[in-house]
Amino acid sequence: MSIQKSVVIIGAGLIGVSAARYLSAAGSRVVLVGPGETPPGAESRVYSSWYDEARITRILDPDPVWGTLAARSISRYGDIESESGICFHQRSGVLRVADAGDEDLAQSTAACEHLDPVYDVLDEDRLTGRFPMLQFRGGSEALLERGDAGFMNPKRFVKAQSVLCSRLGVERIHATVTRIQERTSGVVVTLEDGRAVQAESALLATGAFTSALHLDVECPPFHISAQTILLAEVAADDAGRFQEMPAVIDRDPGNLDLKYIYVLPPVRYPDGRLCVKIGGRESPDTILDTPKDIGDWFLSGGSARSGERLEEALVSLIPGWAPASLQTKPCAVTRTPTGRPIVDHLSDRIVLAAGGNGAAAKSADEIGRIASTRVLTAAEPPDYPVETFLCRSNLEF
């Protein structure tokens, strides 16, 4: 295969490794630069939003673009798993709960009808009958997405894509990038130890830390929001009660200032604990203004106040269960004014693929594919509405 182009990808996270695989498979010479696993609390200049054991995977979404990104990614999980020998996907089902008649549910099924999601509509009686261990607010209705819906392990996804990248000849540099300069002949990427990498083009897949890079070009004004997750340990004696548990997305169960909550069924963490994870979007968001604020947040243990709210929400959802231990952890969500990811040229030779809006883990393979096309052809993906992924500076949050 002839070498098409040399590309340096900055950020070896979910989108970066996915794009690396597509670019390399298309014949580009690819250098993928980024630190490896950087758990919150570790000494690092940058952190990632994939250092966790579970992210919800589902197609149903009120936005057809998110539905399509997810459906296309999820349809390729099986091949990535079998080719890499690394499994990362679990089909537990996803339950999306709302007030009966809420237009969010109807909009989700209408927006994603063409993607053939497999789901049941559960009224309040069927909901309680089907999941007796869970308790929902009165007047609830739900969509139970089945099929491939469930969760994926983002760390194992990165590992699986990395195996395939390395087989394709992607060069991997474990380092943090501090600066990117554009020259007439290409880009020069400076690493923290002073080394430089040169290539014809650069792809930034740097998530919440994009603004920490020294760039000669303007970067879109993301909102980086602080997120706290709560890990609730399941004692060995309690494990049985969670066997049928799907991932759940629900409303604030009380007056907790949460726009929504999401809960993952029990997953084994590296320290051996089996934990249910709960998180949620707070109202209002806590915005982290500077790269230092974002770094400091990842060094914190998360917000104790948010942890209390999440504990209350968990007690309300799973009444009568006493977790063996509780632990909060920090994470960050990169939001864009459109609510969709940005995959766009910042200049002739620099493309940005970031802005997961708290929903890109499951869809990272497809976003990586779109980013690779953008780098190679400068074109928008023809199979999405025009301007979907463009960085539109006239839009405000």
Q: Are strands 55-57 and 29-33 parallel, antiparallel or unpaired?
A: unpaired
Identify the residue among 19, 23, 30, 55 touching ligand FAD (CB under 6 A): 55
CB atoms within 10 A of CB 114: 11
Min CB(366)–ligand FAD separation in Å: 11
217: helix, strand or coil: coil
The SS3 call for residue 327 is strand
Beta partners for residue 225, in sequence order: 287, 333
Burial class (CB in 10 A: 0-12, 13-18, 19+), 297: buried
Using CA atoms, how far apart are residues 24 and 290, in angstroms rounded to an integer?
A: 34
In the DSSP assignment, the letter for residue 287 is B
Single-letter residue type at 78: G
Pick between residue 140 and residue 176 the one whose CB is nearest to ligand FAD: 176
Q: What is the per-residue binding string for ligand FAD in 157-196, x denoting contact by CB under 6 A?
A: -------------------xx-------------------
- Establish if 69 lies at the interface with ligand FAD (CB under 6 A): no
Residue 359 engages ligand FAD in binding (rule: CB under 6 A): yes
Kindly indicate which of the ranges 125-133, 253-261, 268-276, 325-333 contains the residues binding ligand FAD, using the contact rule CB under 6 A: 325-333
CA distances (Å), origin 21, targets 57, 81, 183: 21, 14, 26
Instruction: Rule CB under 6 A: say whether 8 interacts with ligand FAD.
Output: no
**Residue-level length of the chain:** 397
Residue 302 found at the interface with ligand FAD (CB under 6 A): no
**What residue type is assigned to position 55 of the chain?**
R
- The identity of residue 74, as a single letter, is I
Q: How many residues bind ligand FAD (CB under 6 A)?
A: 40
Q: Which is nearer to ligand FAD, 81 or 124 (CB)?
A: 81
CB of 134 or CB of 247, closer to ligand FAD: 247
User: Among residue numbers 122 through 161, which ones bind ligand FAD (CB under 6 A)?
Assistant: none
Pick from 14, 65, 127, 352: which binds ligand FAD (CB under 6 A)? Answer: 14
333 binds ligand FAD (CB under 6 A): yes
Binding part of the chain for ligand FAD, among 41-49, 61-69, 121-129, 141-149 by CB under 6 A, reads: 41-49
Least distance in angstroms from the C-beta of 364 to ligand FAD: 6
Is residue 46 involved in binding ligand FAD (CB under 6 A)?
Answer: yes
How many separate helices (H) and strands (E) can be counted in the chain? 8, 21
Task: Rule CB under 6 A: say whether 67 interacts with ligand FAD.
Answer: no
Q: Is 10 in the site for ligand FAD (CB under 6 A)?
A: yes
Q: Least CB distance from residue 279 to ligand FAD, whole Å?
A: 5
Contacts of 267 (CB under 8 A, 6+ apart): 53, 54, 151, 153, 274, 275, 277
How crowded is the C-beta side of 313, counted as CA atoms within 13 Å?
31
Reduced 3-state DSSP string for 233-261: ECCHHHHHHHCCCCEEEECCCCCCCEEEE
Interaction residues for ligand FAD, span 254-283 (CB under 6 A): 279
Q: SS3 of 2, please?
A: coil
* Residue 42: φ, ψ to 5°: -75, 160
63-81 in b/e burial notation, b at 16+ Cβ within 10 A? bbbbbbbbbbbbeebeebb
Instruction: Give the nearer residue to ligand FAD in terms of CB position, either 274 or 354.
Output: 354
Task: Give the nearest residue (CB) to ligand FAD.
Answer: 13
298 binds ligand FAD (CB under 6 A): no
Round to whole Å and give the CA distance between 229 and 344.
31
Report in angstroms how near the CB of residue 16 gets to ligand FAD at its nearest. Answer: 6
Q: Which is nearer to ligand FAD, 14 or 143 (CB)?
A: 14
Q: Which is nearer to ligand FAD, 124 or 212 (CB)?
A: 212
Token pair belonging to 360: 């890109």
**Which residue in 209, 222, 297, 298 binds ligand FAD (CB under 6 A)?**
209
- Residue 205 in contact with ligand FAD, rule: CB under 6 A: yes
Nearer Cβ to ligand FAD (86/359)? 359
Binding site for ligand FAD (CB under 6 A): 10-16, 33-35, 38, 46, 48-50, 55-56, 176-177, 205-209, 212-213, 227, 229, 279, 331-333, 354, 356, 358-362, 364
